Amino acid sequence: MIVFSNAKINLGLFVTDKRPDGFHNLATCFYPVDWSDVLEINESKELTFESFGIPIPGDPSDNLCLKAYHLLKKDFDIPPVSIHLIKNIPIGAGLGGGSSNSSFTLKALNDLFQLNIADDELAKYAAKLGSDCPFFIYNKAKLAFGTGNQFKDIDLSLTGKKILLVYPNIHISTAQAFSNIRVMQPKMPIADILQEPLKKWKENLNNDFELSVFNVNEDIKKLKDKMYQSGAEFSLMSGSGSTVYGIFDQDFDFEELESYCSEKKYAYINIKISR
């Protein structure tokens, strides 16, 4: 079985307060985008995992795909599988690639072995793997609160727009992103901001991580500025960085921006949004 494990972007990301446990509460909107890894999962004589493409740091035996398998194995009598992952989504880029891989592994195993686990139940398994993992079970626009683990539906579609996602080959650590973060409530609830016309999002839809990240990585700020200079209706850094995206009109020509990214040796993809 082959599945395409897609990325997400954050439409806004507000750090609203610090929790007693040391973590922070957030308010954001996750939106799926078609920058995808490829997962092939088949029944096998023994459990194996191999990855190709972008190198994944760490011990392969700790990969989230294997953790997802073991999670279901505890409750269901499923046989061993071979898992092959082609990694295209940049790692540590604010796109949720690893979380997506784990959730799509859960979904693939559910389908492959006809476990008949409903999405809401599958999301509970995904939550054990990471705060944002349940989003990829539903894989549609969701407001997220808490540590990114509490979800609400939102009627939001960017269908027909084009989006350019650019990873400037800069890894941002979580600790670095949270340094100098200023905790505050947004001027408007994020759900209300997202109901405004796209071109007005720039006025109130922020990513609170940008301030600390831009202070030490001027190239990321320049990339966002370049998006607006080129005609983006809205641009923002995704997650804790460093990927920057721009949302454009459906007739936009990316040739100049793609040349800029190629000269800088940035990884990028342009997508026509179809959902």
Q: What CATH number is given to the structural domain containing 32?
A: 3.30.230.10
Which of 27-31, 34-38, 180-184, 263-267 is predicted least confidently? 180-184
Asked if residue 232 and residue 173 are part of one domain, the reply reads yes
DSSP 14: E
Judgement on whether residues 92 and 180 belong to the same structural domain of the protein: no
8 and 118: one domain? yes
Q: For residue 20, is pLDDT > 80?
A: no
Give the pLDDT score at 4: 98
Contact in structure between 270 and 161 (CB atoms under 8 Å): no
CATH code of the domain containing 227: 3.30.70.890
Query: Same structural domain for residues 11 and 140?
Result: yes
What does the mean pLDDT of the chain come to? 93
pLDDT at 239 over 80: yes
181 pLDDT higher than 90: no
Name the domain count of the chain. 2
Reported confidence tier of residue 44, pLDDT bands at 50, 70, 90: very high
* Pair (224, 258) in one structural domain: yes
- The most distant pair of C-alpha atoms in the chain lies apart, rounded to whole Å, by 56
- The set of catalytic residues is 8, 132
Q: Are residues 35 and 148 in the same domain?
A: yes
Single out the residue in 153, 174, 200 at which a domain terminates.
153
Query: Could you give the angle at the alpha carbon of 210 between the alpha carbons of 132 and 24, nearest 5°?
Result: 45
Residue ending a domain, among 126, 153, 180, is 153
Q: Which of 131, 153, 175 is the last residue of a domain?
A: 153
What's the rounded mean pLDDT across residues 45-50?
A: 97
In which band, very low, low, confident or very high, does the pLDDT at 22 lie, cut at 50, 70 and 90? low
Give the Cα separation of 4 and 112 in Å (integer): 15
Higher pLDDT, 175 or 266: 266
Query: Are residue 146 and residue 179 in the same domain, yes or no?
Result: no
Q: Do residues 210 and 256 share a domain? A: yes
- How high is the pLDDT of residue 212? 85
Q: What is the pTM of this model?
A: 0.94
Condensed to tens digits (0 to 9), the pLDDT of residues 122-146 reads 999 999 999 999 999 999 999 999 9
| Contact call for residues 187 and 204 (beta carbons, < 8 A) | yes
Residues 102, 60 within the same domain: yes
Q: Please provide the size of the chain in residues.
A: 275
pLDDT band at 168 (very low <50, low <70, confident <90, very high): very high
Segment 141-160, tens digit of pLDDT:
999 999 888 999 999 999 99
Burial class (CB in 10 A: 0-12, 13-18, 19+), 199: exposed
Specify the pLDDT at position 275.
Answer: 74
Statement to judge: residues 8 and 106 lie in one domain: yes
Instruction: Give the integer Cα–Cα distance in Å for 222 and 216.
Output: 12
Q: Which of 92, 36, 139, 99 is nearest to 238 (CA)?
A: 92
189 and 143 co-located in one domain: no
Q: What is the mean pLDDT of residues 207-213?
A: 90
Q: Output the CA torsion 245→246→249→251 (10° steps).
A: -70
Is the domain of 141 the same as that of 265?
no
Range of the domain at 52: 2-153
Confidence band, pLDDT 50/70/90 cuts, at residue 179: low
